Structure 1
Amino acid sequence: MSSPPPLSLDLRSYGPDSTSDSHGFAQIVLPLEGALTMEIGGRGSVIGRGELAFVETDMRHDQVSVRANRSFILDLDPANLSPRLREELGRRPYGALSPAANKLVDFMALMVTQQGASGEAAQAVVDRWAPLLFDTLANGPPKARLRLAALLDRLEAAPGHDWTAAAMARHAGVGVSRLHALFREELDTTPRAWLSELRLKRVREALVSGHLSIAELAYRFGYSDQSALTRALRRATGLPPAAYRRQMQEAAGGEPEPEPVSKTA
């Protein structure tokens, strides 16, 4: 397969059919509208506006959606990325954009709307825009996140714990109001919203494996009951857990496993 230009930006939409592929260049996926259910090297997630997915060179990947969607697909030579950024994106291929990176995506969306997405002029804009995006991503977590690092590690290790704002503040060594300020300033969210997103991410990952029942997942990841988990996943993806599990397993090219049955007393 021939390589694309060093930097190539395309605007694409995806449907419910598998588009499984691999290629000799890297990609950054930036949703603009709707959400994509993705699988990258066997790791599944759902990404939407304000998030990205990174596909390493020659990595098998797939993306599907049951709703209207549009995404920027940035093809690139991974040598354009700093070694640290490439390693971090490869280790965590799904992530949230910083406020600064979001503004750059908004700018490019405006430019594409005004000028179109093809031609030499458009390529010149991409050539200037992409390095700015890479630099913004390479700046990494803000300094204040270092002060939250111990707390974030604790939350990631035990997302199903009955976390309160006061308990999170104690682990971070700050007051509750300061905790909220740090999350707002550096992560552009709240402690509760960050935890909710973490829990939902873990649920999506667990659903792909197909081994645990929905009720067990709800208990394990801190939801009050199965209905609460179902509502949260439907809000995020438009699908209930069983349908999401089937779609992800089919996208990964495997046979969907029978839905586990919860044991009742």
Structure 2
Amino acid sequence: MDHGLASLSLRAYGASPGSHVHDHAQVLLGLHGALALEVDGRGHLVGPGQGLLLPAGARHDFEAAQGARCLVLDSRHPGWRGLGPLHAPPAAAHGLARYLAEALAAGLPRAQLWGPALVQELFQPPAHARRAQRAIDWIALGDWALARADHPTSVAELAARVHLSGSQLAARCRAELGQPLMHWLRGLRLDEARRLRGQGLAVAEVARRCGYRSPSALTTALRRTGR
């Protein structure tokens, strides 16, 4: 099941200010120049060797007074939900951005195939921080939950997938994703419902696949969240 639609591109930014709101996550890796951004009222700067994750739904104004060039990842993968804005480690971001930019310019197909996963790794905790506790692969856990979305999924079942207790998983979700566990799960299912509706599936079929008791319940949930 492909929930992680993602693409890499090279983009140039100029002196004219711009403003965007995306319904997907976006990662900027600086290559040349300096790109100034204001994300939900907070200032950020992306220059060579710097990386910034822009979460879905975050309004960002941007300007590059002297011009700037960035490697950009646009991704709808549910694993980005609840994260950001986050900065990537400069040394790793610089080397990866330069490599992927050259690979894209050369038309190497593996840049698009493997590049998004490599960019994602930039925003994972460093190895010394992960030794204290087992890392949770939120993307894999979300994919597992979505694959069985037509069945009720309990906190205990989710926790068992990552070898934790229910309370441990709930605490980790709040700490790492910034939201309650079941809110995270509902968000994934709503994103999946929107994706299926976009493919033209009937509301009743989407409701069945995504675990809603009726088409009206799904319609209400989508309307309430503006999805």
- Normalized against structure 1, the TM-score is what? 0.45
Match in the other structure for 2:55: 51
Counterpart of 1:71 in structure 2: which amino acid? Answer: R
**8 A Cα contact 2:193 2:206, kept in partner:** yes
- What is the CA–CA distance in structure 2 between the aligned matches of 1:93 and 1:9, rounded to whole Å? 28
**1:74-104 CA distances to partner (integer Å, 9 max, x unpaired)?**
47888534xxxx4xx34547843525549xx
Match in the other structure for 1:71: 59
Structure 1 residue runs without a partner (length 5+):
14-26, 34-49, 54-69, 103-136, 239-265
- Mark the CA change 1:158 to 1:141 in structure 2 (over 3 Å): closer, same or farther: farther
- What is the CA–CA distance in structure 1 between the aligned matches of 2:180 and 2:141, rounded to whole Å? 13
Q: Which structure has more strand as a fraction of its residues?
A: 2
Counterpart of 1:140 in structure 2: which amino acid? Answer: F
1:238-253 to 2 correspondences below 5 Å: none
**8 A Cα contact 1:199 1:221, kept in partner:** yes
Deviates more, 1:72-81 or 1:196-205: 72-81
Aligned-partner SS, 2:123:
coil
1:73-222 to 2 correspondences below 5 Å: 73-74=61-62, 79-81=69-71, 86=72, 89-92=73-76, 95-96=80-81, 98=83, 101=86, 139-142=122-125, 143=130, 146-149=135-138, 150-210=140-200, 212-222=201-211
- What is the CA–CA distance in structure 2 between the aligned matches of 1:97 and 1:165, rounded to whole Å? 19
Cα root mean square deviation, aligned: 4.1
Counterpart of 1:96 in structure 2: which amino acid? Answer: R
**8 A Cα contact 1:30 1:52, kept in partner:** no
Structure 2 residue runs without a partner (length 5+):
1-11, 22-34, 42-53, 88-119
- Mark the CA change 1:92 to 1:234 in structure 2 (over 3 Å): closer, same or farther: closer
Q: Which structure has more helix as a fraction of its residues?
A: 1
- CA-CA distance at 1:158 after TM superposition: 2.9
- CA-CA distance at 1:209 after TM superposition: 1.3
- Normalized against structure 2, the TM-score is what? 0.51
- What is the CA–CA distance in structure 1 between the aligned matches of 2:137 and 2:181, rounded to whole Å? 11
> Are residue 10 (structure 1) and residue 18 (structure 2) matched?
yes
Between the two proteins, what is the percent identity of the paired residues?
A: 28
Counterpart of 2:204 in structure 1: which amino acid? Answer: A
- Mark the CA change 1:218 to 1:154 in structure 2 (over 3 Å): closer, same or farther: same
Counterpart of 1:198 in structure 2: which amino acid? Answer: L
